Structure 1
Amino acid sequence: MTSCSGRLSEILRHQAMLLEHIVTEQRYYPDYYRVTFYGNFPGAIRDKRFIYRGYEWEKFGAFCERMLNKHTGAQLLKTLGDPPVDIRFGNEQYIQCTAVTPEADRARPIFVNPDVPLRVRNYYEHSAINVFSSSRQIKKPTRDGTEEIWVEKTYFTTEEAFPTVLRRSEVVGLDVVEISPLENALSEVEQKTKELAALNTKYQALAKTSQVVSTNALAMSLNSAVDAPLNTGIGSYRQMFFGPDYIARNPERAELVDKLRAAIDEQVRVIDSCLKLHKHLCPHEFIPFHETLEKFFKKNFREEIRRLAADELSEMIPPSATAGSSYQHSLYDQANTPSTARGNFVLPPLQLGSSSMMPASASYPPQSPTSGNAKNPTPHFKQTPLQRHLAHLARHGINGVSSAPGESGASDSLSVESLRNSFVNVGNANTVHTSAGDAQMSGTSVAASNVGSLNSFGSRLGRFSRFGSISFGRRGNNVS
């Protein structure tokens, strides 16, 4: 091991340089093609499928021309399906070429981890893979006699993972999947959302640097998203799948319709984020183009924007603000909620005093408004010392009347004015006979007063409870 240290260090430095190039260098990944050889070819390649890795910047036409030049006398088979028997096993040579898409394993940690750089993710989307796919459209009849355009997707599994030394590998596995129009629409929307999200992540990172950023890639992707061609894109999906007749004809696809609607909503959110980023990064001369993108976005996604705005607004408003409740219920909730900002000073709902305009029978002893049983009342509020003394006076037939030291009219507010400006008048209580004749009830006639400190006043009031009714007035006023 010691003798190989120099060679090992050289290999590790070369490996470190390759890993660094994945992150730092701009790469252009070649395309992949499926090639099938039919007819009078050598036994090693006759009637076999291979996946070829093209050269950099080599397009489909150039690749087909290279294959024909390599196999002189062969003809290019332009059909996509399996050819007839006379072509497959005839004396002439045919080459069938089809462009394929690499299918990376999205469950790998490198695709799940959001912290992986975008260039590293792009590298593994085109490298270290052995599964490829190609698609073609087919027509299938529906229940009502019409035809739907389905997508037949074929997956090819190669013997070796790419890249390889020979730039080709034989296909050892074949799997065909038929995709409905609804599933295909969902796949296209999700793929476009991933493309926009990747660009959003890339340009957000570039926005934090001081270098000049070209927004062409972001602008082209946004343009294709907000202004799709006629009868394509999300506009056609709305007309085709979101109508009530489609669910009625295909009730088993209701869940997929909901997934498609959610995928479109997610794409609208990503487009909105990309538009804000594009507005921040685009040069001044591209401002009119950006405004055009925003107009198309608001026009073509009007329904989704309105619905998402309403949903976000309902999430921002707490449930208590939207729930319908009466005034009394709100007061009940507030009364039962402990407050730490101030003292728990609550006036109980007692019949404090009967007005001269009210009949005498309207005065009753203090009782909880929620208690229906007179034998076992359950007070809802805690009484203050003043209220307990007033209740004591009422039980003994003493009618306590108070008047404000300030204004002569009754007021529900409390005044900070001292009791030194008030005096006490003691009189006899009035007895009120009810219409029944014998029953006598003492009315607790107490008006709300501006008397300042209630606790100290309650202790003074207890000293005069044995003399009769108590009333207050300002010094200097005539007392009757």
Structure 2
Amino acid sequence: MGESAAREMFAPRHCTAGPIAPLPGEPPAQAQDWLGSATLLPMLHYRLAQPPEELNVRTYAFVVVTALNAPANRVPCRFKSRVVACMTAILSQMDDRHYATYIETFSGTYDLVDFLMESFLLFKDLIGKHVYPSDWMAMIMVQNRVFLRAINTYADTMNQKFLNNDDFEVQLWNNYFHLAVAFITQESLQLEHFSPTKRNKILAKYGDMRRLIGFAIRDIWYKLGSHKICFIPGMVGPILEMTLIPEEELRRATIPIFFDMITCEHATSGNFHKFENEIILKLDHEVEGGGGDERYMQLLETILLDCAAEKPMLRPQVQHFVALVKGLLIRLLDYRTVMSDDSRNNRMSCTVNLLNFYKDINREGMYIRYLYKLRDLHLEGENYTEAAYTLLLHSRLLKWLDETCSPQFESHGSQTQRQLKETLYDTIIDYFDKGKMWEEAITLCKELAEQYENEIFDYELLSKRLEKQAKFYENIMKILRPKPDYFAVGYYGQGYPPFLRNKVFIHRGKEYERREDFQNQLMSQFPSSVRLNTTTMPGDDIRNSPLQYIQCFTVQPVLEIPPRLKNKPVPDQIINFYKSNYVQRFHYSRPVRKGPVDPNNEFASMWIERTTFTTVYKLPGILRWFEATDMKHTTLSPLENAIETMESTNEKILTMINQYQADWTLPINPLSMLLNGIVDPAVMGGFAKYEKAFFTEEYNQQHPEDRDKLARLKDLIAWQIPLLGGGISLHGKRVTDDLRPFHERMEECFKQLKKKVEKEYGVRELGSECGTPTKIHADRDLPPESPTSWTLQRSSGSMSASTTEEVVVTVGDTNVEVKMRKSKKKKKRSSMIFISEERERTSTLDCKRLSKKQEFRSDTNLSEPNEGNVSLTNANSRSLPAITGLSLTVVGGTEEVDSTRARRDSKSMSVCGTSDRTADRRSKGVINLLFKSKSSKTEDVKSGDPTKDSANHF
């Protein structure tokens, strides 16, 4: 086709500025080819009779409308790229005179506004959709240069025609700002992502176009005057996105816009809450998406504080805002750093740091957002208990109301708070069930049952909920829950991120997880770290080192007695749960040698250095670890160490007896090893080591302050005899024929041991009554030679005695006065032991007659010496495991036992006639721990230092 034909067919159509359409008799593809012809534009520009300005104007308008009207889903990408190429070529040939001519062609303001808005929308659409392949860098940069000139030219037009109060167009200016930010943040202009060679070529030929348009945005913003408030908070996000570009001069030029926004909103409303809320929300999304760095945080802080220095009235509020944003940026940058890390633990830690931050500043929506991120991380690692605690935080924000949920909960649909809370509870209960935390699941079941019974009256749901709750109770008593180990982990050195650097965390291990396995997994997360083989706190040389050091060792949880369990009979299955759950304090004990060392008796010089770690929250919780925020160091003397060891041994014997009473299928070997290790002097050395170390005249003269502690240790030794007797009796009934000689030797050793101990320290016997020894006077109030008095509950033989009597017994060489108080008691199912008639005839000391209750005293976990808990111990009862259901008899030397005991024994025991072994075992139950509360103990002490007495309890 010739040039004249082209003019005749194409030029008239340009004037219509309508959408492109095929000419009569021509296919659509051919019309598109004409538009994209390489010779079309020069032919139209130079050979047509019309002036170039008019032709360019008409052609440009036609191309713009064509591009706007082209449906994206029906127009081939090849055609759209040709349209954009045509428009780019036309704009590149237009100078200021052409733009001015074109603007003047609009007859009215509305037409011009429509054209500018359509052009801005078109530019923004083309910038975001990449009509050219990403490797066509030359074409993309040419387009950006042409678009930048057009945008700046249109901005000048807007400054002239639409900046006055009467003609101000908010939407037009809003479109301009969004277009300018989209242009400056497009991927093709982020030069830091390119190689140095490519970056240098672009800078040499096109320059850094981000600076040019960024400075233009800044200048236009300051020209808006009183209209700025119209763009707050809407423009906070786009301006923030622009300031996050890692270009120093651009950041310095645009960050002051934030202070101008603060000033503008404060002048209008007296505060800048809208700006603050918006920038916190947008910062979270932008930094998570990859924007920002530490340098940006520093610049933001410096520039805003410098600006605030010139405004004394605003300075305090701006300083608070800067501190808030800085804290958020620190946590966001940490979070972004670890999100690409293989360590799920680090991701969880940063997530918790963020959700705690949002909770502190009362940003509920963001807080919930990160709660669910943490929940997902826990489910990936099958941490169901921690996932349940995480969702529980969300449920606590809801009430049992039929009100529609607030906008923060829009992701959960249009539910009421009651519906959402119930749904969350169902999920949480399921998680707790999988994590074997049935105590927590029961608590939620009770709350749901209360709603079903008294609020919505849905008895069908109530019955199902109670069935599930009953199953949880059954699981507690029947299913074994292994105790997890706890590990202290220290991260030392400057090579760690701030949230780990030079901090100590207490980790909760998984079921059956050994320290070696845990440590290997820990080292795999930090392959460049150096393992510290000591348990002492490292010095400043380690802490300030640029390397990474890890310290890992096992710690023991300290039982915290729940108030509802104090002074109550509690089965072992229940109390064992609290020994490793709901714990916040942990002990690590390290033996050290002080003074001269006796090679024949290491106990005399074995001191214990104990470190007590206190975590910020109880474990388990929303994490499997928490930071140890407090560490206290104490030292236990050799005598205190011996007392603690004996306490632990006695408790271990009692626990073992309980286990073998409850389950006759357990193998006998562990019980055999435990008992033989104590009664056979050739194995453990017996009590001779303690006697040689502490029970000497020389030690008494050198340590007169240890009189009560020495009496305590003697009492512990004395009380171990009846416990050993019960264990050996039980062992004799369980032992096989091939181990009978071993058992007989163990019995012989025990007889010798018993004879010796009873002669030296008196007789302690476990009777059949449900008495709990209580102390009348504290030992420290008594003179050295004064008798020690005890008050014991005693029954006449009937389970529900109605009379009381008090019997005073003065015992043997030790002058121990024992008051046997007989008090009115209610019948308790758990206070008696049911045994077969045949077994009762077999032995009056049968360990199955042990009561199912034990009073667990706080000194079982010996605290620091300065707390005074050791000094409070009584010579004859403080160390007693206090088996509830067993009456106490103290006999000095080899004197006979109170004659009334034999009569009481024959009357106080009920006999179960069944021969069913299973039923018999169930009737025995377990030896329960009776927690004695602090208040009850204080009431029993009639005199003494109350401050010291209170320090003896949890």
Aligned partners of 2:562 and 2:641: how far apart in 1?
Answer: 21
* CA shift digits 1:285-331 (9 cap, x unpaired): 3322211221232344541044546738635368xxxxxxxxxxxxx
Aligned-residue offset at 1:127: 1.1
Equivalent residue for 1:181? Answer: 638
Aligned partners of 2:509 and 2:548: how far apart in 1?
Answer: 22
CA contact (8 A) 1:101 1:133 kept: yes
- From 484, 489, 496, the equivalent of 1:30 is 484
Q: Higher relative CO (CA 8 A, sep ≥ 6), structure 1 or 2?
A: 1
Equivalent residue for 1:82? Answer: 537
Aligned partners of 2:651 and 2:564: how far apart in 1?
Answer: 17
Aligned-residue offset at 1:232: 5.2
1:160 aligned onto 2:617 = yes
Aligned-residue offset at 1:234: 2.4
Of Structure 1 and Structure 2, which has the larger fraction of its residues in strand?
Answer: 1
1:41 aligned onto 2:496 = yes
CA contact (8 A) 1:50 1:170 kept: yes
Equivalent residue for 1:282? Answer: 735
Aligned partners of 2:514 and 2:606: how far apart in 1?
Answer: 28
* CA shift digits 1:258-277 (9 cap, x unpaired): 11001100011110111112
- CA distance 1:63–1:226, shift in 2 (3 Å): same
Equivalent residue for 2:897? Answer: 316
CA contact (8 A) 1:35 1:98 kept: yes
- From 580, 584, 589, the equivalent of 1:130 is 584
Normalised to the residue count of structure 1, the TM-score between the two structures is 0.59
- CA distance 1:141–1:160, shift in 2 (3 Å): same
DSSP-derived class of the 1:34 partner? strand
CA contact (8 A) 1:235 1:300 kept: no
Aligned partners of 1:312 and 1:300: how far apart in 2?
Answer: 14
Q: Which runs of 5+ in 1 are unaligned?
A: 319-480
DSSP-derived class of the 1:101 partner? strand
- From 568, 573, 588, the equivalent of 1:119 is 573
CA contact (8 A) 1:54 1:63 kept: yes
CA contact (8 A) 2:609 2:635 kept: yes
Map 1:343-358; keep pairs closer than 5 Å. Answer: none
Aligned partners of 1:121 and 1:149: how far apart in 2?
Answer: 31
Equivalent residue for 1:57? Answer: 512
Aligned partners of 2:590 and 2:666: how far apart in 1?
Answer: 38
* CA shift digits 1:85-140 (9 cap, x unpaired): 22111011000011100110257553753x32111111111111111110112334
- From 190, 208, 226, the equivalent of 2:647 is 190
- CA distance 1:77–1:103, shift in 2 (3 Å): same
Aligned partners of 1:12 and 1:181: how far apart in 2?
Answer: 53
Equivalent residue for 1:349? Answer: none
DSSP-derived class of the 1:164 partner? coil
Radius of gyration: which is bigger?
1
Aligned-residue offset at 1:212: 4.1
Aligned partners of 1:109 and 1:188: how far apart in 2?
Answer: 29
- CA distance 1:56–1:17, shift in 2 (3 Å): same
Find runs of 4+ consecutive structure 1 residues off by over 6 angstroms: none
User: Quick one: which amino acid aligns to residue 591 of structure 2?
Assistant: Q
Aligned partners of 1:304 and 1:107: how far apart in 2?
Answer: 36
User: Quick one: which amino acid aligns to residue 491 of structure 2?
Assistant: F
- CA distance 1:139–1:64, shift in 2 (3 Å): same
Aligned-residue offset at 1:195: 1.3
- CA distance 1:101–1:111, shift in 2 (3 Å): farther
Of Structure 1 and Structure 2, which has the larger fraction of its residues in helix?
Answer: 2
DSSP-derived class of the 1:137 partner? strand
Aligned-residue offset at 1:199: 2.2
- From 251, 260, 273, the equivalent of 2:713 is 260
User: Quick one: which amino acid aligns to residue 701 of structure 2?
Assistant: A
- CA distance 1:126–1:268, shift in 2 (3 Å): same
- CA distance 1:196–1:252, shift in 2 (3 Å): same
Task: After superposing the two structures, state which structure 1 stretch, 100-109 or 52-61, moved more.
Answer: 100-109
Task: After superposing the two structures, state which structure 1 stretch, 220-229 or 62-71, moved more.
Answer: 220-229
Aligned partners of 2:546 and 2:523: how far apart in 1?
Answer: 17
Aligned-residue offset at 1:12: 6.1
Aligned partners of 2:696 and 2:893: how far apart in 1?
Answer: 25
Percent identical pairs in the alignment equals: 29
CA contact (8 A) 1:32 1:54 kept: yes
User: Quick one: which amino acid aligns to residue 590 of structure 2?
Assistant: R
Aligned partners of 1:124 and 1:164: how far apart in 2?
Answer: 14
Equivalent residue for 2:17? Answer: none
- CA distance 1:264–1:108, shift in 2 (3 Å): farther
CA contact (8 A) 2:758 2:893 kept: no
User: Quick one: which amino acid aligns to residue 316 of structure 1?
Assistant: V
Aligned partners of 2:742 and 2:684: how far apart in 1?
Answer: 24
Aligned partners of 1:157 and 1:130: how far apart in 2?
Answer: 6
Aligned partners of 2:605 and 2:620: how far apart in 1?
Answer: 38
Equivalent pairs, count: 311
- From 691, 697, 708, the equivalent of 1:244 is 697
- CA distance 1:12–1:78, shift in 2 (3 Å): farther
Aligned-residue offset at 1:223: 2.2
* CA shift digits 1:201-256 (9 cap, x unpaired): 333344xxxx6453333223212222366675522111111122111221111221
DSSP-derived class of the 1:314 partner? coil
Aligned partners of 1:158 and 1:60: how far apart in 2?
Answer: 20
CA contact (8 A) 1:101 1:134 kept: yes
CA contact (8 A) 2:679 2:746 kept: yes
- From 602, 606, 613, the equivalent of 1:149 is 606
Map 1:461-476; keep pairs closer than 5 Å. Answer: none
Aligned partners of 2:638 and 2:541: how far apart in 1?
Answer: 35
CA contact (8 A) 2:505 2:628 kept: yes
User: Quick one: which amino acid aligns to residue 640 of structure 2?
Assistant: E
User: Quick one: which amino acid aligns to residue 731 of structure 2?
Assistant: H
Task: After superposing the two structures, state which structure 1 stretch, 104-113 or 93-102, moved more.
Answer: 104-113
Aligned partners of 1:174 and 1:15: how far apart in 2?
Answer: 39
Aligned partners of 2:699 and 2:621: how far apart in 1?
Answer: 48
Aligned partners of 2:632 and 2:589: how far apart in 1?
Answer: 12
Equivalent residue for 1:92? Answer: 547
DSSP-derived class of the 1:36 partner? strand
Equivalent residue for 1:450? Answer: none
User: Quick one: which amino acid aligns to residue 534 of structure 2?
Assistant: T
Aligned partners of 1:85 and 1:272: how far apart in 2?
Answer: 54
- From 542, 545, 556, the equivalent of 1:101 is 556
* CA shift digits 1:4-32 (9 cap, x unpaired): 58954576655544443221111212211
- CA distance 1:241–1:49, shift in 2 (3 Å): same
User: Quick one: which amino acid aligns to residue 214 of structure 1?
Assistant: P
Aligned partners of 1:228 and 1:18: how far apart in 2?
Answer: 46
Task: After superposing the two structures, state which structure 1 stretch, 32-41 or 217-226, moved more.
Answer: 217-226
Aligned partners of 2:616 and 2:625: how far apart in 1?
Answer: 10
